[in-house]
Structure 1
Amino acid sequence: MTVPAKLHTISLNDISNPRVIRSLIPCPSLRVFKCHYVNFGDFTPALAKDFGQLLLSAGERFEDFGFTVQAAALLNDGVDLDARFKLIDLARIPNLKRINLWIEDNQYLIPFLRRLAESGSLTPMLETLDIYYLSEHDLDWERLDDILQHPYFHVLREIKTSVKTYFNLEDVVGQEPGWYSKPNDGSRAHIEMGHNIAKPPNNIFSVAYEWNSCVGLRLLPPICHITFAQSPTLHTDPNDWYTDEVEECRLGVMRDVSFEAASTLTVALGNMPPHQSVFQL
């Protein structure tokens, strides 16, 4: 495969063949790397090593890293994520500005951040740390706070996580029946979301959030406002639910759906068009 000179984004879904990654190395124009796996076990050490080499080949251009494991933490059958992320070694990326991690298992997180903190980077560049499950993780929060005091994080402007709540039909009275993007202002669920934001560990940051459960925890400057955004949510047709006992949960669980609704470009192992700037597989 001949890598286009202007290729700036690589987005991978359940990639299993290391040869595909190796065929993209070097990629000196790469700025954005996104990778999604359904299962923990599909993210192998061999793939992690090649991901690391790919990112290093981008040099100073690379700035945005995103990684998702869709499976719930309880489905991690002994996969050592920390050992895999060591092979990617983001501490060697000089201009990394954004990190997005959507992984429910939290065993990797403190070691992952500690490696960045101890990297000895002379010029801090990281601006955004987006950890979707951070508010749900059982972490040593004092230890996390100590790590974030390191010079590597001195220009960090935003830490993002998610906070979820539940709502039912009583919280959307007056809205047109169908798909509900958010409950009514002042409703029980609306008030409960505010309480959830105020609970530890969320209350250690100044908070700005959207109702679609995407919560921006901003370190500087202090922010205190609420904005709303339209997002995919659950339909509230009672015929959709299995039992009355779980109706409220099924009616109202709100989760941020951040996967981009973009068409997938399948590229064979051959030459890509010279104008191609985004590679999705």
Structure 2
Amino acid sequence: MTATLQKSPAASSLGGRRRPLEPVFHTLLMVCLAVAVVFLAILLAYVLHEGWGRLDARLWENFPSKLYPDRAGAQSAIVGTIYVIGLTGAFCVPIGVMTAIYLEEYADSGRWWNRLIELNIQNLAAVPSIVYGILGLGILARGLGLGRTLITAALTLSLLVLPVVIIAAREAIRAVPGSIRQGSLALGATQWQTIWRQVLPAAVPGIATGTILALSRAIGEAAPLLLLGAVTHITFNPEGVTDAYTVLPIQIFNWIKQPEAEFHTLASAAIVILLAILLVMNSVAVWLRNRYEKRW
């Protein structure tokens, strides 16, 4: 006997009520997207127009100057930004990826401490950045005696983006089909060999994309670094992790405060440099995703 499944009148009426709303919802989404793109385009156009006159070699070859805006540059801020982000990535990426591997491949979700770790990671991802600045100032700078140095800034920003890196790495590892693991284990590989040679290579695109996007957030943070005492006027490049430093957001903040219009032009030009660095980082993320992505 063949059983025939029919939709109930209530389900049919519910589906009928939802269909006319789909074009409306789609239109609202497109309007929101258009508003965001228009405001972003206006912002970029304004910044380019204001800073175009100082987008030359002086900006990245010269050091900041309080008295001569026509000679001032942002070399120390650019170098400091690269150092801080490089150290941040060196600290947070290995810890984030290893934590994701543990939670996805080894941890027993039935254990209370594993559930507590997952809950804390999700909560920490939504903590305001200024709270991490307070944490870095109280524990790293004063408690551990690291001072207001380059390594303090890098460790603080690592704590800031670490939950994002963990979540992105977990999603990438989770997306690898279970059949890959089962096939590797069936051929005699150990669990760690399976993870190292099969799971991680397949998850690299997602991990790299999430990591670079997390670092893109860190590169624009100014509030925690202001709290950590980042120097607003520095005329040398840091040579070690215990040196004083400045970064582009701090330098832009310092120039914006100045009353002279020339410093405002410098600030707009530095914003363009910061956006260019962000664009390069996001382009690398897109390239890695397209280059190594596997479709299952």
Same fold (TM over 0.5): no
TM-score (norm 1): 0.23
Q: Who wins on radius of gyration, i.e. which is larger?
A: 2
Q: More strand by proportion, 1 or 2? A: 1
Q: Which has the higher helix share?
A: 2
* Higher RCO structure, 1 or 2 (CA under 8 Å, sep 6+): 2
